[in-house]
Structure 1
Amino acid sequence: MRMTRKLVFFAFIFLSLNLTFEASAQDSIQPSATRSKKAASYKISKAADDLKESLDANDEVQIAKNYEKLADGFLEKGDNAKAEEYLKKALATYTKLKRTSDRTRVTRSLAKVQESQQKVSAAIKSYEAAGAAAEEQEVIQLNRNDANRLRNINNPAAQTSFVQSNIQLLEKADKKEEVADAYVQQAQMNLQQKNKDVAIQSYEKAITYVKDQPEEVAKLKTEIAKVYASDNQFDKALEISEKLLADAKTANDFDTQIKQLQTLATIYFKKNEPEKAVLCLKQAYHLALQQGETDEVKNSLLQLLQYYKTHGKDKESIALYDDFFQNFDKLIRNDSSLIDEKTFQVTEEKIRQLEKEKALKDELIAKKNTFNYVLLGSLLLLLLLVGLIVKALYSIKTKNKEIALQSLRREMNPHFIFNSLNSVNQFISQNKELEANKYLSSYSHLMRNMMENSNKDFISLSNEIEQLKKYLNLEHLRFQDKFDYQIVVDDALDTETTLVPNMLIQPHLENAIWHGLRYRETKGLLLLKFELNRGKVSVIVDDNGIGLTESAALKTRNQKVHQSRGVTNTKERINLLNELYKTNIGFSITEKNSGTTGTIVTLTFPLLDKV
């Protein structure tokens, strides 16, 4: 009957407590967690509320930060699985946002959490990822050392060298908590190598870096007490635990009191003083009941039941059983962590819903952005197509202008050709063979020169003057008794580098000779001047012929058409040159009226050395 009741009792204890606290009953707690579970619960609740707000606002940076805060809260509570879950979410967001320093920090935290859960392969990968993401050489080496330490998990001596390297790096960077963690790691390796004295020294060094964190100091001193106990140095172990218990009572630190009573019980059991051990466990049990610390009630209760079972003390077991059930409702009411757990479950469900809504929003935004990019790309493509069409049309228009300009430039004055041939015929009929040969030779040179330059819009001033001289020589050979000519070039002009429009001047020389000078009764003068005025080249064709008015009265219809076409040709060429080369070529014709006869033609264009 007693055995039946005891079995029922054990079954109930395990079912009720394990189902209630399955999430919080973790085997390993992060060494750097220093706050109480109540503080951790508050931190989790606050981070969860902040996370909901950031999810509602779709603030990616704050979402990642709140995931990280949630993970820290679960670390302090000892729920490493939950901490890992939220660290992964924070890492995913930081990676998406390309926040390198945050990604490096969270990846290293994730590696530590995975290591604390004995997920060695995952932890190695996380340490390697943290090192790869880091920018500082010290951080790269730190993570590399941790990855190598885990690869040598069965070789404590090799592990120690990597930990010592990390200690040096962390001390240099003044990261006290991480230095303390590294010394704890070193102590654990010392214990694996049976170097208990060295392990105690490592724990003591760790304490110097967390001396302003009482809970952490108590935890490390407890580890030292365990080492002494394992080495049968019970007095030293008891001294440490009793001192910690006394300090906890002074500070009204009930969590530490409970843990130290449990530690003292363990030491007393090893020292073969079970009565004292049971007394400590009972004190821990009752204190945990008062404070609503269900986990600690469970731990103390299980140790007491195990002792009673081993020693066949069924009566004591039943008494403990009855006491537990009498206080069970009170325990549940006093345990705020249960309420916090339930509240967080509701909050977490809301977070899950918000995460789904955010994922849906992100998907819609992504589709919208894709559509916008496609639309923008189509518009850009259309604009590019329009630009190419405009460019092609502009190119065609420019080419047409160039062709038109070449056509105008290549127009040969039929009068000049006819008169030249007529002059040769006249020389031959008068048996002036020498003059005929000379004329034909000059004429052919001029034609060849004009043909060579026929595809050029601008030529050098020296080349233009040479062409004009050949032309004037031909006309002077024909009308020797009618005019002389003179070409004057400003010394400020460099005839080799200065560029002028090709054969734009020749038609005006022809007009001056054929419609002005050849009608004079006396010999006239044709003056061609090239001047540099205020950065512009001025070309002046000055003749003392009969002038525009009298010339118009003498002209035949064909002559009028010819002269009109010559002026029109000049204006058209000037307009085309101005459009194609963005120049500002000017043109004017004036008649002398101050007691002398004649005409002045002026051409102006910018001083150019390249086009």
Structure 2
Amino acid sequence: MRHLSITFSLLCLVLLFSQKIAAQEMPVQKAEKSRAVKASKAAEELSVSLDKNDEGKIAENYEKLANEFLNKEDNAKAEEYFKRALNSYTKLKQNEDKIRVARSLAKVQESRKKFNSAIENYEVAGSLAKDPSEEKINLNDANRLKNQANPASQTDYVNSNIELLKKEKKSDEVTEAYVQKAQNSLDLKDKSVAIESYKKALVYAKDKPEAVIKIKNEIANVYASDNQFEKAININEKLLAEAVTNRDFSTQIKQLQSIASLYFKKEDPEKAIVSLKEAYRLASEKENSTEAKNTLSALVKYYKSEGNEKESMKLYEQFLQNFDELIQSDTTLISAKTFQVTEGKIRQLEKEKTLKDELITKKNTFNYFLLGSILLLLLLFAFIVKALYAIKTKNKEIALQSLRREMNPHFIFNSLNSVNQFIAENKELEANKYLTSYSNLMRDMMENSNKDFISLDKEVEQLKKYLDLEHLRFQDKFDFEITVDEKLDAESVLVPNMIIQPHLENSIWHGLRYLDTKGLLQLKFQFADAKVVVVIEDNGIGLTKSRELKTSNQKVHESRGLNNTKERIGLLNELYKKNISFVIKEKELPESGTIVEIVFPLIDKI
């Protein structure tokens, strides 16, 4: 007996070791078969998407791979890849996908008894759900797990989910919910409700053969736990018959093993041995080394308990004769090894992706820093430009004020000259009248001295006062007329300040005062083509004759006066963009005199 036990232990070690190295040490004639067996499509697609660094496809293929492991009942791997899928969907901010994967992850974690993690992921899925039913379903599952110590309190959550899932027509999840209800009923020692729940689960799982087989096996286990072995065996035998019809050898082996286990419990070892031998034969024939080992272990255990060393040795010899061929031909081992290679490639690509992401993050950080620096420099440049523009504008305003004030001393000097002349001629009444009018005019001019534009009515009033003063002095030399177009609203229309007055002064002092007869000075404000046209017309001696009579000092003064006006108009155009223009021309013979025309747009606000 001791020799038999040692032999069996060595055999198991050899088998386990061989499973690990078989794929690496295959003969040449088996290599082609190994190359023909490929890893799952999802694993290959995942490798491609990782190589391309396509985050959307990476997430999708992680989820596909996780579902493949779930179907193979490899829940540890399924959990690993569901976590990776969840991380990728979180990066992509795809909430619908995140909800689905978080719920799938929670189910896997629940199956692995990781209840706290499962609760957390159910709550994540519930918090992200926009649909109230979906939110309620996930929170029910979270609360169900929180109350796992009290099976009775879980019933309401399970029943609530069954109704919600039926309304949502999610048949797969209805199946799972009924299975949960069955398990909950077993915890409550209510086997009849458990079987009824399993049967309801079968209705919704009819299109899922693997799920149907699993549920029927669970029903058989319930019957077996209640010592209703015939019912349990009957279920397994029906599943076996269906597997034979469908040529589903893996299910055949599993059902034969289950039947054998039931016969052992029923204390009918002969039938149990028949089922085990058939399972062993089928596993060996179909090159499934794992199931061959499991079945052989069960047979040896029985023969050992019966002291039948002869039969045990016979099985050993048979197993050893076919050992090499079995290991080398086992497609499950080859597929597992091939997947290990693919998974190794996946891990390498994941590392490369992490490095790429880090580089991209650093590059993006640098780019953002560079962009921020450029933006800051642009803002600084804009601030400098704005400051320079403000300084330039202020300088222009100062220059404009300076030019405007430059005109005042000349006017004051001429006015005081006139007063002096009246006094010299003992014309005290005229001098007094002149000073009174002069003081009123000066007050108006001072009030408006800081304004670039004033209303037309104020300008007309100011110019009339000025012409009255000049007329008082040269009353025998000219008369004047001021006319304003009725189309112009004198109170709202704005005109440039102190632009017109110098031209009136020139007409009087350099044209009209040299006449032998009384002349006429006309000031007209006209409206044409949406513009204000100011016309200053006199019938004096004209520009040509005036220049002949002037002294060199007067010529310099007149030139400075014209330049002053041009500069002021230029500054007004730059500051206010009003396109003001003016021209001076001499009347054609036989007429004499000058015409000054100032044109600016209709201005109602500055």
Q: Is this a same-fold pair by TM over 0.5?
A: yes
- The 5 A counterparts of 1:284-323 are 284-323=279-318
| Residues 37 and 338, structure 2, Cα contact 8 Å, conserved in 1 | no
Alignment match, 2:61: 66
Which has the larger displacement, 273-282 or 301-310?
301-310
1:11 deviates by 5.6
Aligned to 1:573, which of 564, 568, 574?
A: 568
Aligned to 2:456, which of 449, 458, 461?
A: 461
Structure 2: gaps of 5 or more residues: 22-35
Aligned to 2:478, which of 480, 483, 486?
A: 483
Alignment partner of 1:184 is 2:183 = no
1:358 deviates by 2.5
For residue 371 of structure 2, what is the amino acid of its counterpart?
L
| Residues 38 and 335, structure 2, Cα contact 8 Å, conserved in 1 | no
For residue 537 of structure 2, what is the amino acid of its counterpart?
D
Does the residue aligned with 1:493 lie in a helix, a strand or coil? Answer: coil
CA distance, structure 2, for counterparts of residue 531 and residue 159 of structure 1: 95
Q: Deviations for 1:526-565, whole angstroms, at most 9, x for unmatched residues?
A: 1111111111111111112221122222222222222211
| Residues 17 and 298, structure 1, Cα contact 8 Å, conserved in 2 | no
Structure 1: gaps of 5 or more residues: 23-40
CA distance, structure 1, for counterparts of residue 37 and residue 169 of structure 2: 29
Q: Deviations for 1:327-347, whole angstroms, at most 9, x for unmatched residues?
A: 332321331111111112222
| Residues 461 and 495, structure 1, Cα contact 8 Å, conserved in 2 | yes
CA distance, structure 1, for counterparts of residue 577 and residue 196 of structure 2: 89
| Residues 537 and 606, structure 1, Cα contact 8 Å, conserved in 2 | yes
| Residues 494 and 605, structure 2, Cα contact 8 Å, conserved in 1 | yes
1:500/1:18 Cα in 2 relative to 1: closer, same or farther (>3 Å)? farther
1:464 deviates by 1.5
Which has the larger displacement, 261-270 or 398-407?
261-270
Does the residue aligned with 2:40 lie in a helix, a strand or coil? Answer: helix
Which has the larger displacement, 171-180 or 423-432?
423-432
CA distance, structure 2, for counterparts of residue 422 and residue 438 of structure 1: 15
Alignment partner of 1:417 is 2:412 = yes
Aligned to 1:172, which of 167, 170, 190?
A: 167
| Residues 6 and 318, structure 1, Cα contact 8 Å, conserved in 2 | no
For residue 522 of structure 1, what is the amino acid of its counterpart?
T
CA distance, structure 1, for counterparts of residue 299 and residue 214 of structure 2: 23
Alignment partner of 1:100 is 2:99 = no
CA distance, structure 2, for counterparts of residue 162 and residue 17 of structure 1: 45
Which has the larger displacement, 390-399 or 357-366?
357-366
Alignment match, 2:2: 3
Which has the larger displacement, 581-590 or 316-325?
316-325
- The 5 A counterparts of 1:372-383 are 372-383=367-378
Q: Deviations for 1:460-503, whole angstroms, at most 9, x for unmatched residues?
A: 11221222122112112212222222211111111122111111
CA distance, structure 2, for counterparts of residue 357 and residue 231 of structure 1: 56
Does the residue aligned with 1:521 lie in a helix, a strand or coil? Answer: coil
1:211 deviates by 0.9
- The 5 A counterparts of 1:247-262 are 247-262=242-257
1:153/1:312 Cα in 2 relative to 1: closer, same or farther (>3 Å)? farther
Aligned to 2:340, which of 324, 345, 348?
A: 345
- The 5 A counterparts of 1:198-209 are 198-209=193-204
CA distance, structure 2, for counterparts of residue 45 and residue 404 of structure 1: 85
For residue 51 of structure 2, what is the amino acid of its counterpart?
D
1:314 deviates by 4.2
| Residues 257 and 275, structure 2, Cα contact 8 Å, conserved in 1 | yes
CA distance, structure 1, for counterparts of residue 40 and residue 194 of structure 2: 38
CA distance, structure 2, for counterparts of residue 516 and residue 414 of structure 1: 21
- The 5 A counterparts of 1:70-219 are 70-219=65-214
Alignment match, 1:34: none
Aligned to 2:604, which of 599, 605, 609?
A: 609
Does the residue aligned with 1:411 lie in a helix, a strand or coil? Answer: helix
1:323 deviates by 3.4
Alignment partner of 1:563 is 2:558 = yes
Which has the larger displacement, 564-573 or 391-400?
391-400
| Residues 44 and 70, structure 1, Cα contact 8 Å, conserved in 2 | no
Does the residue aligned with 2:451 lie in a helix, a strand or coil? Answer: coil
Alignment match, 1:539: 534
Alignment match, 1:235: 230
Aligned to 2:278, which of 269, 276, 283?
A: 283
Q: Deviations for 1:71-98, whole angstroms, at most 9, x for unmatched residues?
A: 2222222222122222222222222222
Deviating 4+ runs (over 6 angstroms): none
Q: Deviations for 1:26-53, whole angstroms, at most 9, x for unmatched residues?
A: xxxxxxxxxxxxxxx9785322222222
For residue 403 of structure 2, what is the amino acid of its counterpart?
L
Alignment match, 2:258: 263
Alignment partner of 1:384 is 2:384 = no
Alignment match, 1:29: none
CA distance, structure 2, for counterparts of residue 447 and residue 310 of structure 1: 135
| Residues 122 and 142, structure 2, Cα contact 8 Å, conserved in 1 | yes
1:516/1:491 Cα in 2 relative to 1: closer, same or farther (>3 Å)? same
For residue 270 of structure 2, what is the amino acid of its counterpart?
E
CA distance, structure 1, for counterparts of residue 459 and residue 162 of structure 2: 88
Counting aligned pairs with the same residue, the percent is 65
Alignment partner of 1:355 is 2:312 = no
Alignment match, 1:25: none
1:607 deviates by 0.8
| Residues 484 and 524, structure 1, Cα contact 8 Å, conserved in 2 | yes
Does the residue aligned with 1:298 lie in a helix, a strand or coil? Answer: helix
1:12/1:151 Cα in 2 relative to 1: closer, same or farther (>3 Å)? farther
RCO (CA 8 Å, sep 6+): is it higher in 1 or 2?
2
Does the residue aligned with 2:261 lie in a helix, a strand or coil? Answer: helix
CA distance, structure 2, for counterparts of residue 393 and residue 158 of structure 1: 78
Q: Deviations for 1:267-303, whole angstroms, at most 9, x for unmatched residues?
A: 3233332322232222222212221223322333333
Alignment partner of 1:222 is 2:221 = no
Which has the larger displacement, 351-360 or 567-576?
351-360
Aligned to 2:467, which of 443, 463, 472?
A: 472
CA distance, structure 1, for counterparts of residue 184 and residue 176 of structure 2: 13
Which has the larger displacement, 574-583 or 81-90?
81-90
For residue 329 of structure 1, what is the amino acid of its counterpart?
D
For residue 462 of structure 1, what is the amino acid of its counterpart?
D
1:605 deviates by 0.6
| Residues 461 and 499, structure 1, Cα contact 8 Å, conserved in 2 | yes
1:319 deviates by 3.6
CA distance, structure 1, for counterparts of residue 41 and residue 197 of structure 2: 36
CA distance, structure 1, for counterparts of residue 392 and residue 237 of structure 2: 102
CA distance, structure 2, for counterparts of residue 202 and residue 56 of structure 1: 47
1:195/1:74 Cα in 2 relative to 1: closer, same or farther (>3 Å)? same
Which has the larger displacement, 318-327 or 80-89?
318-327
Q: Deviations for 1:372-417, whole angstroms, at most 9, x for unmatched residues?
A: 3333333333333333222222222111111111111121354432
CA distance, structure 1, for counterparts of residue 235 and residue 450 of structure 2: 107
Question: Normalised by the size of structure 1, how large is the TM-score?
Answer: 0.91
| Residues 215 and 256, structure 1, Cα contact 8 Å, conserved in 2 | no
Does the residue aligned with 1:604 lie in a helix, a strand or coil? Answer: strand
| Residues 242 and 260, structure 1, Cα contact 8 Å, conserved in 2 | yes
